[in-house]
Structure 1
């Protein structure tokens, strides 16, 4: 289990099986993985189960399903502590490192949020998505729609569903890193908007030391009012905050302005060195940068009453594979 993404999925599958008092099949496991924040289909689960069988962590009982072995229970216990500590920030750091997008060349990989929606809601969901993008609450107007059964990297779309991949705001951290600017992601939160302008953060959650993505917490709490903002210019939108060295502030501004030329925008402010950004304190010698969260466009769909399984900062994708909605 060398790949961190694969390891997390295998451990999570074993945890699901271990909690059951009877053998579990791939479909039930896939459903539970969806509930736990993994976009993985039944076919991909079957592949992972074969890996677990081969390593002696699970035992197959014909067509009934799998049970956990003693060896598997030991593996779960060994992985339990490490799997919980800083899981979100560690995964984000991996994605930032894998970001290859070059704003000058206008090509490379970006980080994407992934959302899974029932196919019956396809037309309504895309109509709302278009409205949200037109209202300027996204990082980029480019998206990729994946149909049921599609597999794109580590994205696997279950039967009866479709998935939307949109550009995640943490792509900026990858772009900054590629340009020699280290950034530290601090908070995800709710930005109060009035007259189409950002006013202040009204709630924030730190990325460090948590096993839950702050943006997903706010989505699940239904704390946003994206549709209100689209209609009136006033509402609460998802945003995040990172800082860069104060000496790199102007170069960061140049890089982020350059990114606008390839439809990657959504940043709200680059603060003065050591000064608060939208009411959030910033360390001495650092400059804060606040950016809309890419998940705002998906949150608008959820606010309209359409069930959405949202997975912020989930994977990377070639930006040129993503297209604007017609």
Structure 2
């Protein structure tokens, strides 16, 4: 069971971080009560003393405490099971706080907060995108982060608040229209017409905001859409009752009058929207991501720190950055192409795993990642270093180089951790892949610091973590760092047989990081009751190490099947 004391301390840190000022025990106790924790002032002081001792908070005279830099870092890691649940609840809370009235333009909106060094190039690019209407609204707010922080060449550090698409969810709710946020993702645009979602991540069961996952350079091409009409933009997806569709259509018309838009498509009852299936009696609604202009700046090589749904702000305090003339057209009729979710592909590959542990023959699932031939020798040397120094952080010791259709590239195949699910399944042990994550390696207590559910995702979370430079596999060669790892669950009654089987797997060159006890937290990740968690290292850890050395890699996870006897050992 989760440690309730840890949870309370995390909430205290979160309160201090959110309010960003010195708070006394009385104020903290009141805020905790609002969150469902009935802690008196004396109990709060007790918890605060512990936080002081850990260096997470600092006492400021008699005024109270403030959170320290160390406390902010701890909050980022937090209790990962708490972070996974909190990410979606944060959005729900922001939706509730939205109060903008489309008829008079008064009330609060949700804003994304981005920081960058003021530069005319950044401003020019984001204005270009806002002008084309590839955003939720052209209304923004600029603020100096530190008026004394001057950079001789580029100017001062500024914060830019832009309206988040989740604001529309809050406004729909204020109109009495129930709304269910479902996914953040990427939408392909062809000749200014949105065609379909190509990638999706569910809002539920992830420690990372879904659209945040797609802000890495190279994942979007917003600037190309603004200039040429073709490319990929961030977008989010929600559903509403079919009975409310007529009112919603009218409502979107009212939104345009006050400068809020971003609607890509609203479907009919039970109709797929941009390739996303919708159940009967519900209607899908796709809206441009409010971070699109900032993604364009990142595409152009600008350094921008993007935070989604970060704050609430009065709409009247924002100003129009530029007059917008939307260029995106009403989306074309639905095609037969649907979003391909990761687990659908994975389960079919899992079914076909038939490797025999003793003979080391048969099919395993592999990831295949591609490097330029000029970098191949260096890449393989890095892979070898990881395999030989930290074999426990690799799914298996087997690999293979493969040709690419482009003769200038070569593929490196590594065994995918879903192979373990295939082996368990073939031995009559029901397994459910739950999360891909980032595991922080510490001397005493390794712990997950990021988790994203496989269910509801079109991408392997490990691909996202690599693209956002969230690993430090090479650091683990010296003892600490961050690696990719995956978590699956099995019924607790199957644990004895699973332990025996996984011990045999390890003897033949596969790696298992940990097998938990029934319902036990495993590396700080929560397991369903009457289940056991099994953690394996990610098969892409050697590939992540290549990326850490700034060697370009095209990463492809959960790619295909390969006979183990055709692979080589390091």
TM-score (norm 2): 0.44
CA apart distance, 1:86: 2.3
Paired residues of 1:88 and 1:210 also in contact (CA < 8 A): yes
Paired residues of 1:58 and 1:67 also in contact (CA < 8 A): no
Distance 1:169 1:11 in 2: 24
Paired residues of 1:10 and 1:48 also in contact (CA < 8 A): no
What is residue 13 of structure 2 aligned with on the other side? 10
Distance 1:184 1:127 in 2: 35
CA apart distance, 1:197: 0.9
Distance 1:321 1:281 in 2: 38
The alignment status of 1:93 with 2:92, answered yes or no, reads yes
Q: In the TM superposition, what whole-angstrom CA distance separates every residue of 1:221-259 from its partner, at most 9, and x where no partner exists?
A: 631001111221000000111000010011111111111
The alignment status of 1:257 with 2:253, answered yes or no, reads yes
Distance 2:69 2:232 in 1: 45
Distance 1:264 1:226 in 2: 19
Paired residues of 2:80 and 2:207 also in contact (CA < 8 A): no
Q: Map of 1:1-326 to 2, 5 A cutoff?
A: 10=13, 44=20, 47=22, 55-56=48-49, 57-59=51-53, 80=79, 83-119=82-118, 121=119, 123-149=120-146, 161-220=157-216, 222-325=218-321
Query: Secondary structure of 1:165's match?
Result: strand
Higher relative contact order (CA 8 A, sep 6+): 1
Using a 3 Å threshold, how does the CA distance of structure 1 residues 216 and 311 change in structure 2: closer, same or farther? same
Higher Cα Rg: structure 1 or 2? 2
Using a 3 Å threshold, how does the CA distance of structure 1 residues 164 and 8 change in structure 2: closer, same or farther? farther
Paired residues of 1:8 and 1:83 also in contact (CA < 8 A): no
Distance 1:306 1:49 in 2: 41
Distance 1:171 1:291 in 2: 11
Paired residues of 1:39 and 1:116 also in contact (CA < 8 A): no
What is residue 32 of structure 1 aligned with on the other side? none
Query: Secondary structure of 1:86's match?
Result: helix
Distance 1:304 1:112 in 2: 23
What is residue 388 of structure 2 aligned with on the other side? none
Query: Secondary structure of 2:182's match?
Result: strand
CA apart distance, 1:118: 2.0
Query: Secondary structure of 2:79's match?
Result: helix
Aligned CA RMSD, in angstroms, stands at 3.3
Distance 1:191 1:67 in 2: 37
Query: Secondary structure of 2:194's match?
Result: strand
CA apart distance, 1:315: 1.1
Q: Which runs of 5+ in 2 are unaligned?
A: 1-6, 29-43, 60-66, 148-154, 323-570
CA apart distance, 1:9: 7.9
What is residue 24 of structure 1 aligned with on the other side? none
Paired residues of 2:183 and 2:237 also in contact (CA < 8 A): yes
What is residue 27 of structure 1 aligned with on the other side? none
What is residue 536 of structure 2 aligned with on the other side? none
Q: In the TM superposition, what whole-angstrom CA distance separates every residue of 1:280-311 from its partner, at most 9, and x where no partner exists?
A: 10122100001000000110111111111101
Paired residues of 2:179 and 2:239 also in contact (CA < 8 A): yes
Q: How many matched pairs? A: 275
Using a 3 Å threshold, how does the CA distance of structure 1 residues 66 and 193 change in structure 2: closer, same or farther? closer
Paired residues of 2:217 and 2:299 also in contact (CA < 8 A): no
Distance 1:230 1:113 in 2: 21
Query: Secondary structure of 1:289's match?
Result: strand
What is residue 487 of structure 2 aligned with on the other side? none
What is residue 463 of structure 2 aligned with on the other side? none
CA apart distance, 1:48: 7.3
Using a 3 Å threshold, how does the CA distance of structure 1 residues 82 and 103 change in structure 2: closer, same or farther? same
Paired residues of 2:217 and 2:298 also in contact (CA < 8 A): no
Q: In the TM superposition, what whole-angstrom CA distance separates every residue of 1:32-63 from its partner, at most 9, and x where no partner exists?
A: xxxxxx899xxx4x74799999921124699x
Q: Which runs of 5+ in 1 are unaligned?
A: 14-37, 70-74, 151-158
Paired residues of 2:273 and 2:284 also in contact (CA < 8 A): yes
Using a 3 Å threshold, how does the CA distance of structure 1 residues 101 and 68 change in structure 2: closer, same or farther? closer
